[in-house]
């Protein structure tokens, strides 16, 4: 049967959609990302296994302490990846499609990752959209604990300001 189209299985179609979704996230193609989400081809909270040699996305993994065992990948949602890449437009599209803002597939929320990456714009957006400031990572840290570099001082100030700015509102 030369020239006949090969059957396209549901599994192959799902893999293709996931790859297109990841490609849109990596390239900050928020138009393509929005189109995929509008067509409901993929769940907005789909968890991906992605390369993460520096373990920015991971809070804790069993076996990581073994001297000869080096992890090279982590689990992450689209929100985590948007923050990791610093793609504000994709972050907004995902949040507009009701992505779970405090999701921790690998122990950290997107806010934890934003603070570790010292991405002030993402920190502000996540806080404005309802990210929990006191949410703990699997290793027991809040977002403020991930503000450890000079470049993350503004993120730390933003978090502290929001915590103390909200104290007066509680009656």
Please tell me the predicted confidence (pLDDT) of residue 1: 46
pTM over 0.95: no
- Reference 52, options 70, 31, 68; nearest CA is 70
Write out the CATH class of domain 12-166: mainly alpha
CB-neighbour burial class of residue 119 (10 A; exposed 0-12, middle 13-18, buried 19+): buried
Give the mean pLDDT of 75-81.
Answer: 94
Neighbours of 46 (CB within 10 A): 16
Mind listing the pLDDT tens digit for each residue in 146-161? 999 999 999 999 999 9
- Domain residue extents for the chain: 12-166
Please tell me the predicted confidence (pLDDT) of residue 51: 78
């Amino acid at each position: 049967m030369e020239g006949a189209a090969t059957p396209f299985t549901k599994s192959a179609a799902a893999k293709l959609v996931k790859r297109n979704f990841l490609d849109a996230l990596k390239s900050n193609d928020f138009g393509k990302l929005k189109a995929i989400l509008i067509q409901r081809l993929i769940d907005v909270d789909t968890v991906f296994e992605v390369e993460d040699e520096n373990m920015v996305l991971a809070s804790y993994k069993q076996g990581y302490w073994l001297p000869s065992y080096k992890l090279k990948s982590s689990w992450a949602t689209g929100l985590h990846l948007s923050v990791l890449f610093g793609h504000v437009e994709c972050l907004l599209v995902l949040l507009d499609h009701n992505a779970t803002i405090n999701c921790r597939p690998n122990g950290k929320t997107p806010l934890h990752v934003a603070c570790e990456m010292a991405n002030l714009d993402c920190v502000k957006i996540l806080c404005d959209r309802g990210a929990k400031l006191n949410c703990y990572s699997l290793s027991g840290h809040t977002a403020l604990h991930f503000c450890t570099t000079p470049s993350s001082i503004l993120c730390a100030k933003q978090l502290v300001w929001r915590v103390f700015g909200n104290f007066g509102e509680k009656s």
